[in-house]
Structures are given as C-alpha cells and as structure tokens.
Structure 1
C-alpha cells in the first residue's frame, strides 16, 4: 500500500463542489455499491443527503473522482459513515484511509465522539486498522452482502 503522504500528494479529499463533481460522486456510489447487485439508479441516494457531509477523492493529475464517502449525525447523537467506495484500480493506495480521516474529522468538529458504520465483511479488517470494533452482526444487503455493525471508539 502507498503511504498516506504519497496518497495525499496524489489525491485531494474534499466535498464535491460543482455539478460535475456531484454527478461523478453519485455515479461512483451507484457503479460500485448498487449496480453490481442490479439495483435501480437512485438507490445510491437517501433522504439524508441534504444534511450529510460528503467527501470525494480526486486524482490531481486527471481530475477523476476515484473515491467517496459520507457521514451524517444520527438522532442518537452518534455519527454514521455510509457509502464508502474506491474505484477498483485505485484500491490499496491509501484513498480509503484519507476519506475516513476526513469524515472522522468532520465528526470531531461537530463534537461527536461516537461513529458507527455498517461494514461489508471484506472491509472489516480495514476498519479495524482504523480503530473500529465490531459491535454486532447486522443485515444482509440485497440478499447477498453480509454486514456487521462497527463503532469507534
């Protein structure tokens, strides 16, 4: 895996800031998180989009959106991370870690001390490396994707 410094030099993490970036952000979410399971366009969005903090990873050299994630405050006061995704050819370069760090920073700035997420089984090791722990088994999405509830701290 590339070091975080290498990744930080190659990619910028920030909120989408133009209609083109918002379109690319949602297209990436759909293409990676919904389309492989034959879900309809639009299923990559929910009612919390307007109040959430959104992040994209943009490759400096191409301007291409290669990763994304979102966090929002829940009614119980915790924050929840959702829709984390990195393009296939860009995985294991530290992009996920940069996105996660940015989302966690937002929670910290909001005074939120607890962050939860529902991780797909293959992503559990990644989140454990970043201080999350398994709290409970959770749902199976689309009848095929096992999830666990994770929390930090």
Structure 2
C-alpha cells in the first residue's frame, strides 16, 4: 500500500455471496444507470459460470471485474467497474492484474474484452491490443481488445 492511499480487500466471489448484491449495485451505478438501463439489465445469463473479483472495504464493494471462460484456454473479461470517487487512482489496474494472475494460475492464457471507447487507453496501458473495427454496443462506441497472458 502506498502511504496516503486507501487499501482494499480483493475477494473472488460467486452469486449468492454476501458481497454479490454490492457488486450488482456497483455495476448498475457505474455501467448501466448512466445509459438509462434498469437494475434488471445488470445480470448476465452466465453470471454463475463467471469468475467475480471484487475490491471491498468495510463491507462495501468499490470495484469489480468479471471473467467468463469460453474454453480451457481463455475467455472474456467484462463488467469492469470502479466507484466514481475512486476512478483514476489505480484500483481498476489492481483489479485487472489480480484477475489476470488468478487466470494464469488456473491455466488460462488469453483474454478478450469489449472496451468502451474511453476505456481503450486504460486497457492499452495494461497490455491489451485493439483488434477489429469499432462498433456500437449498449448504445455507445466500443472496441474489441485482447491480451496473451504470461507474455
């Protein structure tokens, strides 16, 4: 921990965990509510099959990132969210790096994601590369990105 910066606990959880409701609320507030979506639009059909990493302090979820395995070697990072008052302070990078370390430990070697256009530089700093053409998803511009883990 850097002096002057708050520390967080990082925990892998599953739907039904005590922190899961907080994860859903954070995802709604950061990712869906600003676009006019409802709470019902937050959960994905493959939630139970996905790896959920949350950053929390004093029982409050302040960041999260999920990974859905698509085969034995890789899958998709999705629903990356950090509480608005903590954005730009390194928590998102810590979440992604912690998730990636766990994926490597579990034998995964590649990740892809759908990045909102403003988030592309964030992921590029973490070693992700853009591929394919720009497209619109949930009404906003996105880019596909990927990374080989352990490279």
**TM-score scaled by length of structure 2:** 0.86
What does residue 13 of structure 1 align with?
10
Query: Does residue 146 of structure 1 match 2:141?
Result: yes
What does residue 39 of structure 1 align with?
37
Q: From the superposition, tell whether residues 137 and 6 of structure 1 become closer, same or farther in structure 2 (CA, over 3 Å).
A: farther
Cα offset for 1:124? Answer: 0.8
**2:132 & 2:91 partners in 1: Cα distance?**
26
Deviations 1:54-96 (A, max 9, x none): 011113xx43211111001114842210000101101122110
Query: Does residue 108 of structure 1 match 2:104?
Result: yes
Using CA pairs under 8 Å that are at least 6 residues apart, name the structure with larger relative contact order, 1 or 2.
Answer: 1
**1:125 & 1:82 partners in 2: Cα distance?**
16
1:96 to 72, 92, 104: 92
> What's the RMSD between the two structures over aligned residues?
2.1
Secondary structure at 2:89's aligned position in 1?
coil
What does residue 56 of structure 1 align with?
54
**TM-score scaled by length of structure 1:** 0.85
Structure 2 gap segments, 5+ residues each: none
